[in-house]
Amino acid sequence: MTRQVRVVIAGGSFGGLTTAYELRRHVGAERLAITLISREERFAFVPSFTWVATGSRTLEQISFELAGPLAAKQVRFAHETVVGIDSESKVVSTDRAEHPYDFLVVATGHRSANEAVEGLGPFDGPGHSPMSATEAEELGRAIRRLLRDPGPVVVGAAPGASCIGPVYELAFELDQLLRRHGQRHRVPITLVTPEPHLGHMGMGGAGKIRQLLEGELEERDIAYRTSAAITRITAEAVETEGARAIPSVLSIVIPPLAGVAAVARSPGLSNPKGFIPVDAHYRHAKADGVYAVGVAVALPPVEETPVPVNFPKIGHMTEQMATIAAADIAARIAGGTGPTRELSARCILDMGNRGAYMAVDPVRPPRNRIPTVSQGRRWLLAKRAFERAYLWFASHGRRVPTTVGW
């Protein structure tokens, strides 16, 4: 009897879940044993963390238990924390067990490097961030305090950030929330970004998105600074290199990202920042049988900028990586090689009372197609509908079509 091929997936968010579903679509359980390891019991729809912070969603509404849908796909779920990876012996160690593998997919996501900016808490400093479930809930409490006791707000990204979209979303969402509560006139909002121009987002911009964002921020009286390096956050202000401090009683700053500790300390697996170098199939450059998808992947910036801005890492791109990696693993089991393609990006920005849709192909310029940029209330409705659809499909063990993007 032929031994089952063992695939271990480290991580239960977009990359891990998509890889598991795609692998099972390609290869049956009699041939392939899949184990997904996650320190979280629940999948959370990360793009909705800004909505958790601004009060239009709860964590329960944007998450579901992983065990059920994985079991339906005959994927073993290990609710454990990865502590190390031995790529020579092909073993993943957790806080509870050791998991040998033939193929490993690292989809562990990121560690928020909040230490890059002095005072960027939220739990050990006055600054806030929406980059995790607990941080989003904590930011929600801070926003409720702001509604009771208004004052100036700064929303921004630190040097080296790669997740710029939520900066714009939070600025627009806060503007809309404050208007609804009749407090906007008491709350100056400033957007601070390392981007050389608005809408750069680590991908060099997208068509007319720069002009669109400039107009929208100016229409809403949201001040902004570009090529700004945030250096320190205090209870009263946000400080930037070479410029005056910006008064702020609520400071929301997206940090740069780093690889998770278990990956960073595993010999021969990652670069100095804890990210994993891969080829076009998302195979590790040297370690046999190791793949990486999503934020765990080492991706160089599209260009040098006066203040560093890293390559964007969004859910839509993570799913593409996972699909390519899963197809390659399935092909290698059958003695072949899977297809590859350049990453594209489609996303919808929540602008408070409407949405903005962007599509670029490929992400790195120059591009085969002129980028698509569109705005209107229909895109905000589409973003909300996509969130519901994604959660329903994923919680029932199915891939949701991502034609619209997110």
CA atoms of 392 and 242, how far apart (whole Å): 48
Burial code (b: 16+ CB inside 10 Å, e: under 16) for 245-277 equals ebebbbbbbbbbbbbbebbbebeebbeeebbbb
Token pair listed for 11: 């991580």
Q: What is the DSSP string of 93-137?
A: EESS-EEE-SEEEE----EE-GGGSBT--SSSSS-B--SSHHHHH
CA atoms of 277 and 283, how far apart (whole Å): 8
Beta-sheet strands, E only, within 193-229? 222-225
Token pair listed for 327: 């197809």
Q: What is the DSSP string of 11-53?
A: --SHHHHHHHHHHHHHS-TTTEEEEEEES-SEEE-GGGHHHHH
From 8, 23, 163, 258, active-site residue: 163
Q: Residues 300-303: contacts with CB within 8 Å, 24+ apart?
A: 301/202, 302/202, 302/203, 302/204, 302/363, 302/364, 302/365, 303/204
Is 60 an annotated catalytic residue?
A: no
Are 290 and 278 a contacting pair, CB within 8 Å? no
Is 206 an annotated catalytic residue?
A: no
Are 301 and 311 a contacting pair, CB within 8 Å? yes
φ/ψ bin of 218: left (φ > 0), alpha (ψ from -120 to 50), beta (otherwise): alpha
Beta-sheet strands, E only, within 177-320? 189-192, 222-225, 230-233, 237-240, 246-247, 250-254, 257-258, 290-292
From 70, 158, 292, 347, active-site residue: 347
Q: Which residues are catalytic?
A: 163, 347
